[in-house]
Chains A and B, each alone.
Chain A
């Protein structure tokens, strides 16, 4: 029985980690996901800086937020921020093409939305006659054998969404020698892929949310930070950027709590804090999945909802509009799932692509909320899917017509 429990625990961690996938670009991060939980006891209330924090990546991501992306404004998934183009002439070949995709998992709503979007993107291009996909189901070992298997299938280009960074690096390196490789979402510790596609990243996400709170919460106001769990690189970046922002501000971080991504637990924690402090003036979250639960804790306590951040999930956007919240939603856009297909075709046609393809990472604000809120979509749909004009929308994404 304990073994099964451990499996459950590990599974929970994986599910949660897969939820919010982003990755600093540098290759210098510590590989071991040791706990670097920042507790609320010392100093500014934000605790020690995360072991995963990389100053250069942080600076680069924050700078990227202000840079205008190049490319068509109505197609952010084709845009790139400060691209350095890579020549792809040596990969040029005639169609039709056989694309292959090694997917880390489809085990959470974010990946579900992205995966549907990618399939629809493939459907747009008739020169892609075959699209072979293997789902690694969140397992590194399966993805390593998946990548090897795909190399034997005669792919013209291989798209990889790595499950973890360090472990998948050798598999991707091996594939690079045989076929042009496109990596997106999380990176790998090699520059052999033709292009690495990702939105700006976790530091920008965390900073966007924290800066909003610092602006809206009065000096000395009490901010509660809710994180999913410690020690996961992709989540540590979001918090470490928020910590930098809070440390420079006058708000007081009264708690940094871990929710395990569980709505009931989130609601309980927020209720506890409301009880303990009487009033909480702002809530920072490293992912939006439980934002509605946090909001409900205030509602159930009969209190006004303080400034809060969520993500671009429909349930949060709907609540935001209905309750007229003071809120912001940084995003980690699912439209990035369209880009690898576009990149693969460009590479096979010999057109140059950005070596590091940094996609814009917009945030939902009260000004643009109405453009992102789509009441006919399911509650866990991600608004920045870039999928509205794709065939099959909205039914294929679980939405209703009209």
Chain B
């Protein structure tokens, strides 16, 4: 919890700034709309957190989201009865992509940066090839309900977000979480003390793939079919995690802080938008955040915590 405090403070400041610029933000409807908009990124950040805290990267989530949305549209093709089977298929695809990422990273010893970058290119190329640049088909109303509709005034995506967040926090408190952090902190030590390092990492990648599938269902539901839906999301997710104080290279940081980082990033985007700053700047902002957060970690960590050579530098 202690590590979550700084990012929560930043988040509060940003939310206050938004509220000043747009008083409607404080009304339940306005705030729920913000939560709904942030939900996909927060879920992706939770997934990315598992991978990063285990000492790896997952760059494939953005194009996985795009692929999932495009596949869903093509397979559902407006037919409501196909909704649930396709959702099940999307989740399987997400887990499968994570499995491949994890197995190649751990068993074949290819750095995850390369594996998932390759997966990003493979998926985006495959989507382009399959669709020819113009996605076909349509999502059913039932599918879109997860991103558009709600239970009374509360959007479904907010409820799904709560469930995912609770599950992520529970996972990190369970043995799995401790194993994962130990793996990211010092892989060799963890392995020598009996942790099944490879298994932990593979599961982390599968969780990230699962998060991408859920995010895809929410994003596709929110705004419909698009071949650009996932563009840049991998960087937003990594930025969010880093912003939450999670150390690139693994071993430190909480999943709650990572999710708070995603909320903060989304709040920052909202604020930029409110002040009419072009969307192109979002990339710049993310770049500055990643560099600054890693640099700040490298500067402060040795003084605040037990000095541990290497792990902060491993990130850069």
Contact = CB atoms under 8 A, between A and B. Distances in A.
A296 B225 CA distance: 13
B222 interface: yes
Contacts of A268: 37, 273
A8 B283 contact: yes
Interface of A is mostly: helix
Interface in B220-235: 222-226, 228-229, 231-232, 235
Given A264-B222, A265-B279, A379 B136 contact: yes
B169 interface: no
B279 A259 contact: yes
Contacts of B165: none
Interface stretch (A56-64, A102-110, A173-181): A102-110
Given A1-B290, A265-B279, A12 B228 contact: yes
A253 to B, nearest CB: 13
B224 A5 contact: no
Nearest to A18: B133
A380 B135 contact: yes
Interface in B31-80: 33, 37
A72 interface: no
B132 A112 contact: yes
A276 B274 CA distance: 10
A379 B225 contact: yes
A269 B136 contact: no
Nearest to B27: A275
A2 to B, nearest CB: 5
Interface in B1-50: 22, 24-25, 29-30, 33, 37
A300 B148 contact: yes
Interface in A296-317: 296, 300, 315
A275 B22 contact: yes
B268 interface: no
Contact of A112 (B133, B138, B231, B278): B133
A272 B134 contact: no
A6 B276 contact: no
A12 B231 contact: yes
Contacts of A339: none
Given A12-B232, A261-B228, A263-B224, A296 B132 contact: no
B258 to A, nearest CB: 18
B138 A379 contact: yes
B122 interface: no
Chain B, interface size category, equals 35 or more
A122 interface: no
A128 interface: no
Given A5-B283, A272-B273, A380-B135, A263 B231 contact: no
Interface in A225-252: 229-230
A266 to B, nearest CB: 7
A259 B226 CA distance: 14
B137 interface: yes
Contacts of B238: 1
Contacts of A255: 276
Nearest to A318: B138
B73 to A, nearest CB: 8
Contact of B232 (A8, A37, A296): A8
Interface string A264-291: 1111110110011000000000000000
Chain A, interface size category, equals 35 or more
A378 interface: yes
Nearest to B266: A268
B291 interface: yes
Nearest to A35: B278
Nearest to A276: B22
A230 B132 contact: no
A197 to B, nearest CB: 23
A210 B51 CA distance: 49
Q: Pick the most buried of A9, A108, A113, A292: most chain B CB atoms within 10 A of its CB.
A: A9
Contacts of B25: 275
Contacts of B304: none
A263 B270 CA distance: 16
A268 B41 CA distance: 14
B224 A293 contact: yes
Given A15-B228, A262-B228, A2 B287 contact: yes
Contacts of B280: 9, 13, 229, 258, 260
A112 B24 contact: no
Contacts of A380: 134-136
Contacts of A40: 276
B278 A8 contact: no
B89 to A, nearest CB: 21
B290 A275 contact: no
Contacts of A12: 228, 231-232
Interface in B190-234: 219, 222-226, 228-229, 231-232
Nearest to B62: A8
A263 B134 contact: no
B286 interface: yes
Contact of B223 (A107, A229, A267, A272): A267
18 contacts: A1-B235, A1-B290, A2-B287, A2-B291, A5-B283, A5-B286, A6-B283, A260-B279, A261-B228, A262-B231, A263-B223, A264-B222, A269-B273, A275-B22, A276-B22, A300-B148, A378-B134, A381-B134
* Interchain residue pairs A-B with the least CB separation, the first 9: A109-B134, A263-B223, A264-B223, A378-B136, A275-B24, A380-B134, A260-B279, A9-B283, A112-B134
Given A5-B235, A398-B132, 6 more contacts: A9-B280, A15-B228, A258-B278, A262-B228, A262-B279, A276-B24
